């Protein structure tokens, strides 16, 4: 596996997801075949005798049939278990008292020197960040970030505990031992490490039954979020600088839920259950389902585990997925999850093409080309090197076996891939097999990503710049060129940009909640890597201790690291207050002072980036916050169609007098006290939405006024037109009436409402859906 190609990894795990879910369903012709099923039984409450009895009775029923059936028991954060069951047994258990859902154990997929420095200067107001304003008087914090991923490489310098104080006394976790991992691998930074065995027996005894990372993904994520500052970090000289996590003072707890075979739902639920008991403050998950296989709430391990974590005050941050740019591809979109899209930073990796006419064409790639810097190598267009047995179109696009080796040997091949399904790496294989010495791939599909091609001289050229190369080839009988090795380019503009791969809204779970929530750097991010990686090492080099990879997987830890910093500064804040602070302080302007765009060049919308690009200073002092409480989430469960009996089983904090509204409907979801607003406008002349904000600013007495940005044809009325906070009035509500002169919406429309007191700007994006 190429360590740098996160999108290939994503596709690999998508396939595993399909195979895993299919396998989990069992053989339709064999109801006695044993598969792993998750039995979810809602809240775990040691004081509730009825809940305890239901759990015990169902579990004993399973164990009486087969004492070896139990895979994992959930009892800390919620109730249930995973067990080997036949399809018939699973169906029978689903009807037992206290059981919310029974579903096959799914396999989910895995979805920085410069990034934090870039974010530091992406701001719209000056915020007081003097040392005594932030809890950073020491080099350590008692805030604990839990990472559910592929494990950890504990020897990485990013996890040094130098200068850190004692482990927080409230920590109840452990450092699990294995053949290659013991308690000495944990320290005052890495305070806990757990792993979860594969119940199917697919795991490798040496490679997977350990907290140690054998993939690299988890190490990369953890160091991005809370890694210690490490000087002179780079990837073979590229992206050189000091690597640091977003909250380098925070502690780290690692839960290895992913192996080389994917990320099992039973392990993910087990990690949530343990993390709740261990005492983490923030959870970070750079993994999830694929859009086509996304389960509903009661059968989604991440949504279920996150609900119980948030109910106990733990903020859960998840990646949005890598299935963009198609709409409705965002995953991990439950309202209690902070869902993160990806964006670029102001650093690029260029591998340019120098033509024989002394003209340089910009390319994007990571390669360590051994070619001369002089344009002295013959160049040929794929179409001109057509093999006898193939078509012009296949040769032009460098499909497998499409090139004539006699025409290609010793030459740089130009391949057209503007509308082609074959990747650059696959085309490299075709060119190398035919004896070519380099590849210029003309395509816009890679967007902002600079992919890794090792020692082979390969680069990606946009279709616009590709015209220059093709004109040169056609202008001479002896075209020559060279491909330069990659150079790091800083202060690249425009940035941020939303890349093609980042999954888009609207949410398929509910269009009345705007998803994703926020965007963060996720393109070509440098962070720590496993120390035994021997793949794709350039000739004559030692394996790098860092890697550059892309994905919403890399965006997620930027936000979870920021959340850890916000929690450090404001230790009493709820999970939703931290989420609100991050969302309402986001920006929508790039480093050209223009609106943020997508890879295609169009202006980005909240379906691309949620509230916008995260900022690292304003979120520490947001002024106002929207607190989404448990009642909001319980109402949400009612609004999506769950009955009160099921809601009471799921949640441990349902008030005795709580009941689902008689007129429950999905439209009521718009009134959940969320930091953004989404309204279904179909068949309506006007819609009224309410919100409540809490003053967390330094001023007890202050007034906020609204500024509305509304799309054409839509009237937005905010009542009252001023929020006057006092020492005794910290919480105030307001209403928004959306009305339209349009007979019907032809497309979803976007706008925003920003409350400001001259110091703070608290912005909520809104969308009106057709």
Those residues with Cβ within 8 angstroms of residue 595's Cβ, 6 or more apart along the chain or in another chain: 588, 589, 603, 604
Q: CA 200, CA 196: separation in Å to the nearest integer?
A: 12
Q: CA 572, CA 549: separation in Å to the nearest integer?
A: 35
Strand 366-367, strand 525-528: pairing: unpaired
Q: CA 60, CA 82: separation in Å to the nearest integer?
A: 13
281 is catalytic: no
Q: CA 447, CA 460: separation in Å to the nearest integer?
A: 9
SS3 313: coil
- Determine contact, residues 626/693, Cβ cutoff 8 Å: yes
Closest to 407 (Cα-Cα) out of 378, 379, 385: 385
Distance of alpha carbon 419 from the chain centroid: 27
Closest to 215 (Cα-Cα) out of 477, 391, 385, 6: 6
Q: CA 91, CA 85: separation in Å to the nearest integer?
A: 10
Q: CA 414, CA 419: separation in Å to the nearest integer?
A: 15
Q: CA 351, CA 490: separation in Å to the nearest integer?
A: 14
Q: CA 355, CA 377: separation in Å to the nearest integer?
A: 10
Q: CA 365, CA 721: separation in Å to the nearest integer?
A: 52
Distance of alpha carbon 157 from the chain centroid: 24
Segment (H or E) for 546: strand 546-549
Q: What is the 3-state secondary structure (H, E, C) of 386-445?
A: ECCCCCHHHHHCCCCCCECHHHHCCCEEEEECCCCCCCHHHHHHHHHHCCCCEEEEECCC
Q: CA 672, CA 627: separation in Å to the nearest integer?
A: 10
Those residues with Cβ within 8 angstroms of residue 467's Cβ, 6 or more apart along the chain or in another chain: none
149 is catalytic: yes
Strand 251-256, strand 78-85: pairing: unpaired
**Looking at 323, 369, 553, 617, which residue is catalytic?**
553
Segment (H or E) for 454: strand 452-454
Closest to 90 (Cα-Cα) out of 36, 17, 16: 36
**Looking at 10, 111, 217, 308, which residue is catalytic?**
217
Distance of alpha carbon 78 from the chain centroid: 25
Q: CA 590, CA 494: separation in Å to the nearest integer?
A: 6
Q: CA 767, CA 748: separation in Å to the nearest integer?
A: 7
Q: CA 319, CA 276: separation in Å to the nearest integer?
A: 20
DSSP 98-111: T--EEEE--EEEE-
**Looking at 54, 105, 149, 300, which residue is catalytic?**
149
Catalytic residues: 149, 217, 553
């Amino acid at each position: 596996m190429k360590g740098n190609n996160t999108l290939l990894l994503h596709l690999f795990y998508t396939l595993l997801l399909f195979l895993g879910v299919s396998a989990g369903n069992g053989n339709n012709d064999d109801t006695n075949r044993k598969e792993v099923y998750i039995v979810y039984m809602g809240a775990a409450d040691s004081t509730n005798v009825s809940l305890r009895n239901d759990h015990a009775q169902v579990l004993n029923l399973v164990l009486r049939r087969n004492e070896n059936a139990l895979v994992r028991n959930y009892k800390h954060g919620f109730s249930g278990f995973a067990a080997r069951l036949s399809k018939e047994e699973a169906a029978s258990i689903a009807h037992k008292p206290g059981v919310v859902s029974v579903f096959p154990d799914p396999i989910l997929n895995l979805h920085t020197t410069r990034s934090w420095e870039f974010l530091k200067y992406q701001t719209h107001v000056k915020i007081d960040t003097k040392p005594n304003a932030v809890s950073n008087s020491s080099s350590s914090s008692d805030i604990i970030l839990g990472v559910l991923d592929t494990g950890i490489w504990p020897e990485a310098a990013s996890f040094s505990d130098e200068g850190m104080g004692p482990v927080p006394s409230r920590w109840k976790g452990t450092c699990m031992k294995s053949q290659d991992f013991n308690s000495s691998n944990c320290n005052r930074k890495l305070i806990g490490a757990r792993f979860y065995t594969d119940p199917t027996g697919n795991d490798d005894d040496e490679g997977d039954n350990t907290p140690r990372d054998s993939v690299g993904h988890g190490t990369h994520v953890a160091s991005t979020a809370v890694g210690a500052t490490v000087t002179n970090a780079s990837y073979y000289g590229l992206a050189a600088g000091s690597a640091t996590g977003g909250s380098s003072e925070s502690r780290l707890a690692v839960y290895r839920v992913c192996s080389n075979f994917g990320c099992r739902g039973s392990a993910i639920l087990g990690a949530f259950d343990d993390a709740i008991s261990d005492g983490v403050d923030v959870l970070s998950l750079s993994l999830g389902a694929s859009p086509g296989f996304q389960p509903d709430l009661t059968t989604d391990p991440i949504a279920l585990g996150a609900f119980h974590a948030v109910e106990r005050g733990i903020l859960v941050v998840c990646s949005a997925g890598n299935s963009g740019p198609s709409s409705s591809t965002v995953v991990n979109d439950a309202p209690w999850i902070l869902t993160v899209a990806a964006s670029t930073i102001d650093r690029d990796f260029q591998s340019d093409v120098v033509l024989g006419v002394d003209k340089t064409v910009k390319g994007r790639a990571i390669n360590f080309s051994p070619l001369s810097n002089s344009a002295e190598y013959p160049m040929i267009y794929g179409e001109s090197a057509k093999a006898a047995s193939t078509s012009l179109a296949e040769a032009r696009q460098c499909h497998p076996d499409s090139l004539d080796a006699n025409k290609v040997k010793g030459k740089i091949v130009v391949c057209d891939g503007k509308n082609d399904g074959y990747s650059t790496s696959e085309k490299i294989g075709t060119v190398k097999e035919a004896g070519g010495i380099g590849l210029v791939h003309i395509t816009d599909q890679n967007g902002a990503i600079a992919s890794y091609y090792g020692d082979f001289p390969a680069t990606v050229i946009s279709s616009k710049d590709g015209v220059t190369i093709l004109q040169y080839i056609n202008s001479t009988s002896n075209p020559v060129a060279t491909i330069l090795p990659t150079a790091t380019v800083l202060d690249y503009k425009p940035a941020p940009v939303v890349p093609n791969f980042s999954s888009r809204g609207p949410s398929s779970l509910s269009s009345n909640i705007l998803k994703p929530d926020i965007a963060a750097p996720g393109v070509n991010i440098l962070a720590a890597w496993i120390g035994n990686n021997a793949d794709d090492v350039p000739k004559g080099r030692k394996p790098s201790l860092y890697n550059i990879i892309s994905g919403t997987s890399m965006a997620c830890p930027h936000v979870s690291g920021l959340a850890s910093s916000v929690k450090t500064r404001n230790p009493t804040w709820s999970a939703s207050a931290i989420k609100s602070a991050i969302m309402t302080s986001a920006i929508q302007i790039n480093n050209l002072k223009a609106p943020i765009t997508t890879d295609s060049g169009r202006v980005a919308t909240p379906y691309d980036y949620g509230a916008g690009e995260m900022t690292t200073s304003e979120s520490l002092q947001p002024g106002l916050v929207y607190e989404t409480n448990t009642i909001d989430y319980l109402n949400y469960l009612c609004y999506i169609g769950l009955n009160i009996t099921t809601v009471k089983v799921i949640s441990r904090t349902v008030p005795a007098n709580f009941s689902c509204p008689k007129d429950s409907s999905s439209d009521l979801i718009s009134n959940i006290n969320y930091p953004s607003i989404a309204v279904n406008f179909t068949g309506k002349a006007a819609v009224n939405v309410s919100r409540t904000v809490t003053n967390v600013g330094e001023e007890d007495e202050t007034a906020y006024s609204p500024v509305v940005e509304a799309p054409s044809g839509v009237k937005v009325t905010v009542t009252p037109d001023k929020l006057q906070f006092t020492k005794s009035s910290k919480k105030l509500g307001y209403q928004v009436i959306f009305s339209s002169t349009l007979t019907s919406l032809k497309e979803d429309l976007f706008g925003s409402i920003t409350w400001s007191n001259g110091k703070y700007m608290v912005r909520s994006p809104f969308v009106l859906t057709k």
